[in-house]
Amino acid sequence: MLHLPKRIATIGSHSALQILKGAKDEGFETICICEKKRVKPYKMFPVADEIIEVDSFKDFLKIEKELIKRDAIVIPHGSFVEYLGVEKIKKLKVDHYGTKKILDWESDRGKQQKWLTSAKIKMPQIFKRPEEITKPVIVKFHGARGGRGYFLANSPEEFYKKIAQHPCERDYVIQEYVVGVPIYVHYFYSRLNDELEIMGFDKRYESNADSIGRVAAADQITANIQTSYTIVGNIPLVVRESMLPYFIKIGERVVAESQRMEAPGLFGPFCLEGIVTQDLILTVFEISARIVAGTNPYTNGSPYTCLRYNEPMSTGRRIARDIKQAIERNQLEKVLG
Ligand code: ADP
């Protein structure tokens, strides 16, 4: 028999402010697990009822018992997965929002590709060997590191020249460089009402990719500027209304395919990350099976959630509402995993 959890917990990074604010708005008590050196924002913005300080996020397991004692449900976000790692998360005993089964699909590039292509989502071409490079490619190192270190290459020669600057990197993917505009689509799917919602869209503000246009091409060559994609922030976005049916359709296909591949499938917030080309097709280079930092501009709701809810509804709050409704209906197992 499941107990009724009264607290929402997450680690202090990524989208924690939004998650904790949303949980408080829904009436939960909140806990923020913070690294000592990064505690200030969580004191400045009073969204955590309690702050548990640790020397390092790697110490998370040491406080797990404490969280269980406090009836906490942990909300995972991108940094949570990065700091703990998939294997440790799978072994967590504390209640965890969202299914852990999908973590394998998400972290394994081959599985992710199978999932998305089965859902008929267009993806960039992958070059298995550098010798196969015949068009512009983007080389990405493994793990969500906010785009750091990614580089572009046009030929095998250029690839080898640039990879030499990363002697320790063994795990990378060589992807076709897709020309278009980057778009991140924020979705929410609840198992309680079997409905998909569009929560919003964002684009990223990346250094130096987003400032290269301020320098003339000739000057870029003179200054030997290399494009980099280190994420600095997120910029809110609305899409052409006529594209909404398309974004809804592909979101539904991704959920349906996840249910086919591994029950109960994906639920809660997720994000398709890609490039919209001039034919208005989204080429998806990644799926995040949890809340993304691109939802942070919408702490007070997005232009889309405002159409559906008569109150400020962030993705963080939507998660808390999902949990609250599950508790009320005695179906908590439907939101945990
Ligand atoms: P991370 O996983 O570190 O968050 P992403 O995979 O999201 O990084 O990519 C970071 C940035 O690199 C994107 O915002 C986009 O601008 C660019 N990018 C990634 N993949 C491609 C691609 N296949 N074609 C063109 N640009 C890409």
Query: What 3-state class would DSSP assign to 194?
Result: coil
Is residue 320 pLDDT above 60, yes or no? Answer: yes
Q: Is there an atom of ligand 1 within 6 Å of 144 CB?
A: yes
Backbone CA torsion sign across 84, 87, 88, 91: positive
**Upstream peptide bond of 264 is cis (omega within 30 degrees of 0):** yes
Which is more confidently placed, 61 or 236? 236
**Pocket flag, ligand 1, residue 151 (CB < 6 Å):** no
Find tokens 């797990």 and name the residue: 64
Distance 147 CA to ligand 1 centre (A): 6
User: What is the whole-number distance in angstroms between the Cα of residue 92 and the centre of ligand 1?
Assistant: 30
Beta strand 181-190 with 268-276: parallel, antiparallel or unpaired?
antiparallel
CA 212 from centroid of its chain's CA atoms? 26
Other CB atoms within a 10 A radius of the CB of residue 6 amount to 13
Q: Is residue 124 within 6 Å of ligand 1 at its C-beta?
A: yes
Give me the phi and psi of 96, to 5 degrees please. -130, 125
Q: Hey, what domains does the chain have and what are their CATH numbers?
A: 7-96 (3.40.50.20), 106-122+179-205+233-326 (3.30.470.20), 126-176 (3.30.1490.20)
pLDDT in tens, 266-301: 999 999 999 999 999 999 999 999 999 999 999 999
213 C-alpha to ligand 1 centroid (Å): 18
For 82-132, what is each residue's pLDDT tens digit?
899 889 999 999 999 999 998 888 888 889 999 999 999 999 999 999 999
The structure's pTM equals 0.94
**How far is it, in rounded angstroms, from Cα 21 to Cα 16?**
8
Q: Which residues of 231-253 are buried (b: 16+ CB within 10 A; e: fewer)?
A: beebeebebeeeeeeebeebbee
Query: At 244, is the secondary structure helix, strand, or coil?
Result: helix
Phi, psi of 193 (to 5 degrees): -115, 5
Residue 5 pLDDT > 70? no
Q: Which residues contact 116 (CB under 8 A, 6 or more apart)?
A: 123, 254, 257, 284, 287
- The closest residue, in CA terms, to atom 23 on ligand 1 is 177
pLDDT tens digits for 138-178?
Answer: 999 876 466 777 899 999 999 999 999 888 888 899 999 99
pLDDT of 1 strictly over 60: no
**Does 14 sit in the ligand 1 pocket, CB within 6 Å?**
no
Q: What is the pLDDT of residues 198-221, one digit of tens each?
A: 999 999 999 999 999 899 999 998
Instruction: Report the C-alpha gap between 295 and 36 in whole angstroms.
Output: 25
> What mean pLDDT, rounded, does the chain reach?
93
